[in-house]
């Protein structure tokens, strides 16, 4: 049918599509599925642009929850597409990834404005990493301001200084600081 031909054409030429604004979510989903079948997301240079196209319009409908627990190799290999898809995440689990303070994923979390639950258990974080994580919130009043649950357990380098940094997350209701140096 004509619809399927157009769908296939759009899926094959996603990098030329300016926006999917005003395209109903149902049609957007069909384009996405068609693009997946046609392997539009396998080429890294193209994948980031294509994923951004969907994420910019359909926000949380693309991805609401992501578990990358104990998946450091995946995070290192696909950081850009993960960040692109994660901007409207509500739940993110990066537990046991051993990211450390300097990993770009720690800084990228500041872009996840819809985030409500974050697991950073056993990531080798210190007070410096918590400061990096909270900097946009503390200095500019933006970032994951809706954060309600935060797990920082198992990060022995986190001490009392981090409690001050975390105060910027005013919606925070549950913080797990077990097996840290917080007294």
Residues 169 and 38: their CA atoms lie apart, in Å, by 42
Q: What is the mean pLDDT of the chain?
A: 92
Question: Can you say whether the dihedral through the CA atoms of 110, 149, 154, 162 is positive or negative?
Answer: positive
pLDDT value at position 170? 96
Structure tokens at 59: 């926000």
Say yes or no: 88 and 12 in one domain. no
User: Which residue among 62, 80, 106 closes a domain?
Assistant: 62
Say yes or no: 156 and 73 in one domain. yes
Say yes or no: 52 and 91 in one domain. no
Say yes or no: 58 and 91 in one domain. no
Confidence of residue 71 (pLDDT cuts 50, 70, 90): very high
Say yes or no: 20 and 70 in one domain. no
Confidence of residue 112 (pLDDT cuts 50, 70, 90): very high
Residues 112 and 131: their CA atoms lie apart, in Å, by 16
Say yes or no: 54 and 92 in one domain. no
User: Which residue among 32, 62, 92 closes a domain?
Assistant: 62
Say yes or no: 43 and 28 in one domain. yes
Whether 171 shows a pLDDT value over 90: the answer reads: yes
pTM: predicted TM-score of the whole model, two decimal places = 0.79
Cα dist from 70 to 7, 9, 32, 99, 110, whole Å: 37, 38, 28, 10, 21
Q: What mean pLDDT do residues 60-66 have?
A: 80
CB neighbour list of residue 6: distance below 8 Å, 6 or more residues apart: none
Say yes or no: 113 and 175 in one domain. yes
pLDDT value at position 109? 95
* Domain assignment of residue 96, given as a range: 63-183
DSSP assignment string, 76-93: HHSHHHHHHHHTT-SEEE
pLDDT value at position 172? 97
Quote the number of domains for the chain. 2
pLDDT value at position 52? 82
Say yes or no: 56 and 123 in one domain. no
pLDDT value at position 49? 84
User: Which residue among 46, 62, 78 closes a domain?
Assistant: 62
Number of neighbouring beta carbons within 10 Å of residue 133: 27
Say yes or no: 98 and 178 in one domain. yes
Residues 107 and 130: their CA atoms lie apart, in Å, by 10
Say yes or no: 20 and 81 in one domain. no
CATH code of residue 68 = 3.80.10.10
Closest-CA residue to 147 (of 124, 108, 118, 177) = 118
Say yes or no: 36 and 68 in one domain. no
pLDDT value at position 100? 97
Task: Determine contact, residues 154/129, Cβ cutoff 8 Å.
Answer: no
CB neighbour list of residue 142: distance below 8 Å, 6 or more residues apart: 110, 113, 136
Number of H helices, E strands in the chain: 8, 5
Select the more confidently predicted residue: 60 or 85: 85
pLDDT value at position 99? 98
| Highest mean pLDDT (candidates 37-41, 50-54, 120-124) | 120-124
pLDDT in tens, 140-164: 999 999 999 999 999 999 999 999 9
Strands 91-93 vs 149-151: parallel, antiparallel or unpaired: unpaired
């Amino acid at each position: 049918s004509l619809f399927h031909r157009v769908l296939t054409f759009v899926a094959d030429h996603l990098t030329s599509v300016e926006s999917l604004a005003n395209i109903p979510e149902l049609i957007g989903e069909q384009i996405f599925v068609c693009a997946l079948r046609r392997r539009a997301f396998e080429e890294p240079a193209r994948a980031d642009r294509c994923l951004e196209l969907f994420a910019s319009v359909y926000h949380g409908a693309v991805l609401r929850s992501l578990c990358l627990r104990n998946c450091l190799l995946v995070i290192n290999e696909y950081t850009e597409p993960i960040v692109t898809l994660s901007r409207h995440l509500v739940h993110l689990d990066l537990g046991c990834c051993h990211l450390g303070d300097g990993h770009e994923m720690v800084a990228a979390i500041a872009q996840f404005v819809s985030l409500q639950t974050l697991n950073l258990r056993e990531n080798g974080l210190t007070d410096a990493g918590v400061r990096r994580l909270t900097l946009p919130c503390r200095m500019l009043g933006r970032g994951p301001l809706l954060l309600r649950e935060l797990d920082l357990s198992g990060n022995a380098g986190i001490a009392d200084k981090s409690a001050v940094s975390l105060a910027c997350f005013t919606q925070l209701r549950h913080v797990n600081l077990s097996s840290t140096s917080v007294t």
